[in-house]
C-alpha cells in the first residue's frame, strides 16, 4: 500500500485517501454534516462552498512526534477530532488569524478531549503542546473552497495558476458555484 506523510510537519500518520476513505466516508461527512455548520460559522471563508478536502490521521507518542509547532493550515476551515488512546498534556493552542507562525506572542490553550472535535479557521495560527505520556491520535480534515482559493492562494497570497492534479489536489479546481 502507498504511504505518504500526512503533511509536511507530522511524521507519523496516514492519508485517508490512501485507504479509500475519501468517497465513502470523508466526502459524505463534509457535504452532509460539516458544510451546513461551516456555512453558518464561516460564511466569509466559503463555508457553504467547501468543495474539497484533505483528510488524515496523525499520531503523537513519546518516541515519535511529541508536539506540533506553530503553523496555519492549507485550508479554509479545519476539523480536528481527538480519536484518543490514553495521553496526558498535549493541549492545543491558538493565536491570531494570519499572524506569523513563530513565535506566537499571545495564545489561548484548549484541552483536546478524546471523542471531541474542534472546528477552526485554517488561517488561524495554532499548534499542539507536547504530550507528557501515552499516545494521541487525531483525525484532521482540511476543508477547502475553490470559490475562495481560486481568487487568492491562502499560502502565498497570490492569484493561483491552476494545474491538473490527482484527487482534490490542494483545493484549486474549476470553480464550483454554490
Res 110 pLDDT > 50: yes
pLDDT of residue 176: 47
At residue 96, the pLDDT reads 75
Q: Is the pLDDT of residue 166 over 70?
A: no
- 157 versus 143: which is more confidently predicted? 143
Alpha helices (H) along the chain: 27-28, 35-41, 146-149
Model pLDDT for residues 124-140, shown as the tens digit of each residue: 889 999 999 999 999 99
Contacts of 34 (CB under 8 A, 6+ apart): 50, 79, 119, 141, 143
User: Residue 174 pLDDT more than 60?
Assistant: no
pLDDT over threshold 90, residue 169:
no
Q: Report the C-alpha gap between 141 and 128 in whole angstroms.
A: 16
pLDDT at 42: 95
Which has the closest alpha carbon to 128: 93, 79, 154, 87?
A: 93
Average pLDDT over residues 141-158: 82
When pLDDT is averaged across residues 145-163 and rounded to a whole number, the result is 76
Who's near 100: CB < 8 A, 6+ residues apart?
Answer: 125
Please, what is the average pLDDT of the chain? 85
Segment 9-67, tens digit of pLDDT: 888 889 998 899 999 999 999 999 999 999 999 999 989 999 999 999 999 999 899 89
Amino acid at each position: 500500500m502507498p504511504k505518504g506523510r500526512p503533511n509536511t510537519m507530522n511524521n507519523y500518520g496516514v492519508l485517508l485517501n490512501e485507504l479509500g476513505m475519501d468517497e465513502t466516508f470523508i466526502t459524505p461527512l463534509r457535504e452532509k454534516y460539516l458544510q451546513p455548520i461551516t456555512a453558518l460559522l464561516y460564511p466569509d471563508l466559503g463555508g457553504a462552498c467547501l468543495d474539497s478536502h484533505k483528510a488524515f490521521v496523525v499520531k503523537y507518542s513519546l518516541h515519535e512526534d511529541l508536539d506540533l509547532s506553530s503553523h496555519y493550515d492549507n485550508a479554509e476551515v479545519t476539523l480536528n477530532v481527538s480519536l484518543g488512546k490514553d495521553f496526558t498534556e498535549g493541549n492545543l493552542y491558538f493565536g491570531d488569524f494570519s499572524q506569523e507562525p513563530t513565535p506566537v506572542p499571545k495564545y489561548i490553550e484548549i484541552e483536546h478531549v478524546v471523542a471531541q472535535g474542534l472546528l477552526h479557521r485554517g488561517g488561524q495560527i495554532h499548534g499542539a503542546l507536547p504530550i507528557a505520556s501515552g499516545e494521541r491520535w487525531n483525525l484532521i480534515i482540511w476543508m477547502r473552497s475553490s470559490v475562495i482559493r481560486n481568487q487568492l492562494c491562502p499560502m502565498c497570497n497570490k492569484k493561483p495558476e491552476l494545474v491538473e492534479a490527482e484527487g482534490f489536489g490542494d483545493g484549486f479546481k474549476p470553480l464550483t458555484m454554490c
